[in-house]
Amino acid sequence: MSTSHTSRRRVASASTIRDGFAVLGVAIRREPWIFTLSTLGSLLFGALTVADAWVLGWATDNVVLPAFETGTTSTKGLIAILALFVGVAILRAVGIVARRLGAGVMQYRMQAHYRRAVTRQYLRLPMSWHQQHPTGQLLSNANADVEAAWAPIAPLPMAVGTVAMMVIAVAQMLLADLVMALVGLLVFPLVIVANIAFQRLQSPLMTRAQALRAEVSEVAHESFDGALVVKTLGREQEETARFAERAHQLRDVAVRAGRVRAAFDPALEALPNLGVLAVLSVGVWRVLNGQTDAGDVVTVAYLLTIVAFPIRSLGWLLGEFPRSVVGFERVGAVLAATGEMQYGGREIPAAHDGARLDVRHLAYRYDADQSLLEDLTFTVEPGRTVAVVGATASGKSTLTSLLVRLVDPVDGAVLVDGTDLRDLRAGALAEHVALVPQHTFLFDDTVRGNVTLGADVDDEQVWEALRTAQADGFVAGLPHGLDSRLGERGTTLSGGQRQRLSLARALVRRPRLLVMDDATSAVDPEVEARILAALRGFGSTILVVAYRKATIGLADEVVYLTDGHVSDQGTHTELLARSAGYADLVNAYEQDRAEAGDDEGAVTR
């Protein structure tokens, strides 16, 4: 191994230890009183563990040896030994309870705090940030990384207490017999060197293992989320192989880490025992020469066995640092992410009619070379229904995201009743505007829970929204009506039924502006016509992204988009007459349906 490589490993090891203590400092500053309680409990445990050695030495000199000399034991002596050992045991138990309880409460509080912080950050960050980060990674950040970051809290109080125990034990050894103490302490440098070697070998392995856990989580979530694609395209073996590759990498790293621990644990256990043998050998020789007492030999030997434990406990603490530092860095990257929505303090004036929508010179792009919308301008008057029509990649879905402020524009503004969306307070927009997306998401909850999402809405309002969305019929036919559970992602329903429940979810809040992104694409055209007719009497301003000619024809006005621009605007009839591109686009769907029908008839014949 080269000198430069060895130097880098030493620097990395020192950096990990420094960063690990820095992470613990965050926890201590946040929970100082709980840390103090657990540390005091650990100090009590350490002091009483050392006191066991004193009790053992006192009992040897004052009860056990006199009993061998006289052949009798006194009741008072036995009671004294019992009282001392029981008292020390009780106080040590109190220390253990305080140490473990404090460490546990501190650890779980820190985990809960950072899970909430990560979740709040996820909600603050715009959709553009979420689109750049896979869901599996986000789950790993909020779960595995948070747990790993605060794993060292569990052994921390013990390590602090056992350091004190080591200091007390060494002092007592030196006071008992200087020569035997020096002989026993010769084992310390060997134990320290073994621990350092263990950390240097183990740290990079644990760091890699933590990163691989996140990768395994990402692949697993992706495979489960795309189960339909995997199964319908027969890619089970390929997905299994992709997951197995990461799982095997994690297994191999974990096995290597286990081998390192298996090699060092016996050595770390054996070194103190070798020290005890050396102390006993020297101690017997000194007792035979009258240079010390048997009680002192027992005391020093026992203290040496317990003094190795603090070094091991520090090893446990340091062993958690690599995972902790990696986890904290990954969580910190989420918390430090920029781009969260900025809010003002304004409100949209309360009203019962539809809202006025103004889109002014709107521009949006993912990067400098990919412009999705450019100088987009149009107005929707209160109570009107406007259809947005355009070919694929013309910017329709991006426009709907801007209208409900899932993302902010690069330039221009969206105004509702004359108020820029960026000037509104957090939550104000949702009180007036609702989006019905093309791809619906239903929770594993009841129909009522999926429609209300916890809002204070009575069943009469729920049924009214279901009737408007033409969903009341199939909901009434479910075994338990509004109390029927829908299964994960609403798998018990058809695509059209899921879309209608998604629409009812928006309508139950009685929005003044309803934005529908092809929200009835899976619904039968006849049912869709009834939905749009019912929406006209709902009183909301409606902007609908549409493809079907019948749907577009029901709108009061049409905004025709091409390449992120408003190519034309007017009624459906006007655009058919003056825009060839528009006519070709809206007729294409009907032509495709007709051709599909002819093909089906030919096959039947």
For the domain that residue 299 is a member of, what is the CATH number? Answer: 1.20.1560.10
In the structure, what pLDDT confidence band is assigned to residue 4 with cuts at 50, 70 and 90?
very low
Same domain, 210 and 355: no
Range from 51-55, 143-147, 148-152 carrying the lowest mean pLDDT: 51-55
Report d(CA 599, CA 605) in Å as an integer: 10
Same domain, 217 and 321: yes
Same domain, 106 and 220: yes
Let me know: does 530 contact 471? Beta carbons within 8 Å. Answer: no
Range from 81-90, 149-158, 253-262, 503-512 carrying the lowest mean pLDDT: 81-90
Same domain, 427 and 439: no
What's the pLDDT at 597?
47
Most confident of 43-52, 187-196, 241-250, 514-523: 241-250
Same domain, 292 and 419: no
Return the percentage of the chain with pLDDT > 90, whole number.
3
Same domain, 328 and 384: no
Let me know: does 13 contact 203? Beta carbons within 8 Å. Answer: yes
User: Per the structure block, which two tokens stand in for 46?
Assistant: 């350490």
What's the pLDDT at 3?
44
The whole-angstrom distance between residue 160's C-alpha and the CA centroid of its chain comes to 30
pLDDT over threshold 70, residue 528: yes
Let me know: does 567 contact 581? Beta carbons within 8 Å. Answer: yes
User: What 3-state DSSP class applies to 291?
Assistant: coil
The DSSP secondary structure of 21-68, one letter per residue, reads: HHHHHHHHHHSHHHHHHHHHHHHHHHHHHHHHHHHHHHHIIIIIHHHH
Return the percentage of the chain with pLDDT > 70, whole number.
80
Report d(CA 430, CA 441) in Å as an integer: 18
Report d(CA 317, CA 203) in Å as an integer: 12
Give me the count of residues in the chain. Answer: 605
- What's the whole-number mean pLDDT along residues 447-470? 86
Same domain, 134 and 248: yes
pLDDT over threshold 50, residue 438: yes
pLDDT over threshold 80, residue 400: yes
Mean pLDDT of the residues in the chain = 78
Range from 309-318, 409-418, 430-439, 537-546 carrying the lowest mean pLDDT: 309-318
Same domain, 460 and 476: yes
- What's the whole-number mean pLDDT along residues 166-181? 72
CA distances from 128 to 116, 188, 545 (A): 21, 56, 21
- What's the whole-number mean pLDDT along residues 72-101? 76
Sheet holding 513-517, edge to edge: 433-436, 513-517, 541-545, 385-390, 557-562, 565-570
Q: Which domain holds residue 582?
A: 351-431+513-520+539-605
* Final residue before a domain boundary, out of 286, 305, 335: 335
- Domain membership of residue 145 (yes or no) is yes
Q: Which residue has the higher pLDDT, 451 or 137?
A: 451
pLDDT, one tens digit per residue, over 8-44 is 444 445 577 788 888 888 888 888 888 888 888 877 8
What's the pLDDT at 73?
67
Most confident of 109-118, 284-293, 336-345, 593-602: 109-118
* Final residue before a domain boundary, out of 279, 304, 335: 335
In the structure, what pLDDT confidence band is assigned to residue 605 with cuts at 50, 70 and 90?
very low
| Torsion on CA atoms 195, 197, 200, 201, rounded to nearest 10 | -110
Let me know: does 222 contact 136? Beta carbons within 8 Å. Answer: yes
- Domain membership of residue 457 (yes or no) is yes
- How many domains are there within the chain? 3
User: Nearest 5 degrees, angle CA 135-CA 139-CA 145?
Assistant: 135
The DSSP secondary structure of 392-407, one letter per residue, reads: TTSSHHHHHHHHTTSS
What's the pLDDT at 115?
92
Query: Which helix (H) or strand (E) segment is 279 a member of?
Result: helix 236-288
CA distances from 73 to 58, 191, 293, 294, 477 (A): 15, 41, 20, 18, 88
pLDDT over threshold 70, residue 2: no
Q: Which residue has the higher pLDDT, 597 or 478?
A: 478
Here the CATH number for the domain that contains residue 474 is: 3.40.50.300
- What's the whole-number mean pLDDT along residues 257-268? 77
List the one residue out of 371, 275, 261 whose CA is nearest residue 312: 261
Same domain, 131 and 80: yes
What's the pLDDT at 116?
92
* Final residue before a domain boundary, out of 303, 335, 367: 335
Let me know: does 585 contact 388? Beta carbons within 8 Å. Answer: no
Q: Which residue has the higher pLDDT, 186 or 556?
A: 556
User: Nearest 5 degrees, angle CA 268-CA 305-CA 282?
Assistant: 105
Report d(CA 599, CA 476) in Å as an integer: 37
CA distances from 59 to 10, 46, 78, 168, 266 (A): 48, 20, 9, 20, 32
pLDDT, one tens digit per residue, over 308-346 is 666 666 666 766 777 788 788 888 888 888 766 778 888
Query: Which helix (H) or strand (E) segment is 224 a member of?
Result: helix 187-225
User: What 3-state DSSP class applies to 404?
Assistant: coil
Amino acid at 486: L
Range from 8-12, 159-163, 439-443 carrying the lowest mean pLDDT: 8-12
Query: Which helix (H) or strand (E) segment is 60 a member of?
Result: none
Same domain, 48 and 127: yes
Amino acid at 33: W
Q: Which residue has the higher pLDDT, 521 or 542?
A: 542
User: Per the structure block, which two tokens stand in for 482?
Assistant: 């509004």
Name the one residue in this structure whose structure tokens are 């070697």.
197
Same domain, 393 and 473: no
Same domain, 103 and 142: yes
Range from 171-175, 422-426, 548-552 carrying the lowest mean pLDDT: 171-175
Let me know: does 202 contact 318? Beta carbons within 8 Å. Answer: no
What's the pLDDT at 357?
92
